[in-house]
Homo-oligomer: A and B are copies of this chain.
Amino acid sequence: MFYVIGLGLCDEKDITVRGLEVVKGSSRVYLEAYTSILMVQKEKLEAFYGKELILADRDMVETESDEILRNADKEDISLLVVGDPFGATTHTDIILRARSLGIPTRVIHNASIMNAVGACGLQLYNFGQTVSLVFFTETWKPDSFYDRVKENVDLGLHTLVLLDIKVKEQSEENLARGRKIFEPPRYMSISQAVSQLVEVEESRLSGTLQPDKTLAIALSRVGGAEDQQRIVCGTLTELLTQPPEVFGEPLHSLVIVGRRLHHLEVEYAEAFAVDRENWRSVAQNVYGCALE
């Protein structure tokens, strides 16, 4: 059997009991290499699972799937992925390949940011499409995601914005020379994300987002313990001007708050506001949310 097992959001203990059993019983266990987005390192996972893990970067999962699937018709092979196997990065390719080889598969689900975002107090029902925001460079500022943000905003829906991660990136020089030397991982910060959003709005002038009138919620290390997870909310301007330590270490995600805002959502998130008065005032006066 070929298993794809979600590890959840934070550390070695977020795997499910079923997932752990399968890992312990597998002949080979692959770990998709975005491990740094878990809050623990591979060695800690290995110690806890009592298993050696084979690192498989995204490229390997795509191009060497037959090696990963080798003998999975006769023994149990597991591929561990951060979050849920069908989260932001899906694993349908390798499952399709397994299927075509006649290998039975099973997915073991877990939390991902796509559902754990509810921790900010906004109702999952009121979310529209999720978008991804990539690092802008001087010459490359892909902004098609903004059409989707606008669709959500126009309907009054919340938008989950997933922030770019760069792991195993090569410098242009190393790439040109074929040197497998990788840059340190980079994670988009909240202020980068907000400033990119504002930059797109300023070039499009669509009125979709307004720095002082659009509310947003920053989520850091969702699912972590009390001293790890952090939720901070305010207007885009307020989030933009917070010092980095307010959000702390990666990973970060951002929610753009839509007009269909329930007073309980406002009240729940209020505890996380940069400025409670302003949070309530914008919710009431700009969003038209009737607060007590």
Contact = CB atoms under 8 A, between A and B. Distances in A.
Contact of A84 (B104, B118, B123, B226): B118
A176 interface: no
B9 A13 contact: no
A86 interface: yes
Given A96-B267, A124-B86, A157-B129, A13 B16 contact: yes
A217 B235 CA distance: 39
A260 to B, nearest CB: 9
Contacts of A6: 111
B13 A17 contact: yes
For the complex of A and B, list the 4 residue pairs with the smallest distance between their C-beta atoms, beginning with the closest.
A86-B118, A109-B111, A13-B18, A115-B115
B116 A86 contact: yes
A26 to B, nearest CB: 16
A87 interface: yes
Count of chain copies: 2
Contact of A111 (B90, B92, B115, B124): B115
Given A17-B15, A17-B16, A226-B106, A129 B119 contact: no
A223 interface: yes
A115 B118 contact: no
A111 B114 contact: no
Interface of A: 6, 8-9, 12-18, 20-21, 84-88, 90, 92-93, 95-96, 99, 104, 106-112, 114-119, 121, 123-132, 151, 155, 157, 222-223, 225-226, 264, 267-268, 271
A264 B126 contact: no
Given A13-B21, A15-B17, A119-B107, A128 B125 contact: no
A128 B130 contact: no
Given A15-B17, A127-B130, A129-B155, 11 more contacts: A13-B21, A14-B109, A85-B118, A93-B264, A96-B268, A106-B225, A107-B119, A110-B110, A112-B115, A114-B115, A129-B157
A10 to B, nearest CB: 8
A134 B95 CA distance: 34
Contact of A92 (B92, B117, B264): B264
Given A92-B264, A116-B109, A121-B92, A14 B13 contact: no
A121 B105 CA distance: 14
A81 to B, nearest CB: 12
